Amino acid sequence: MQVTFYLFTIKLVILREKKAEYYYMKHSGCTFEYEEERNNDFMRAYTEQIAGRREIILADVFSRVVEMPSKRFWVSEERAAIVISDMMRGKSLDKMRQKKREMFQEIYRRTMSILEKQPGMSVYDAVSVVVRSPAPQFYLTPQSARIIFYRIKKKWYERNLAKLSRSRHHHR
């Protein structure tokens, strides 16, 4: 029994070390599992910001959108649990970008509040509850919002262009 637990602990430590690499340095080109859901939430906020406006200055719109409430924290439960566990052990977030650091500080604050009220709950379960709850903002810079917006727009054009070319091909 003790040997099995020890081997499990070793595997967990190795897994944590591998995952921790992603927590400080996300590799370019890696996929974000909630991208489509985040994009839909982002476009909801964007649409709310431009509704009824006569003049639209995108820089101002993006600045307002990133500060709007979001339907959840846009980070996976696994990544958040690793970061929060590290924070609980006193690990610094100094190398993290400001908005990500602010997001994890808010997740940490809420997680600790849940664990205080429910001491028997696991850190992972508490973090999962927190990241799936509404977030006070998107935790993006206006520049990141601009990039996301243009990626969404590009995908939309590509999808509709493909539909258009298929429909033209069928009508010949």
| Half-sphere exposure of residue 123: CA atoms within 13 angstroms, side-chain side | 15
Pairwise CA distance, residues 107 & 124, whole Å: 12
Name the more confident of 21 and 57.
Answer: 57
pLDDT score at 168: 67
Q: Is the pTM of this model over 0.85?
A: no
- Are the CB atoms for 75 and 22 separated by under 8 Å? no
- Are the CB atoms for 86 and 23 separated by under 8 Å? yes
Domain ranges (residues) in the chain: 2-170
CA dihedral (86, 92, 94, 100) in degrees, to 10, reads 30
Interval 57-115: pLDDT, tens: 999 999 999 999 999 999 999 999 999 999 999 999 999 999 999 999 999 999 999 99
**Please, what sign has the CA dihedral across residues 29, 30, 31, 32?**
negative
Interval 101-150: pLDDT, tens: 999 999 999 999 999 999 999 999 999 999 999 999 999 999 999 999 99
| Residue 85, both tokens | 């566990």
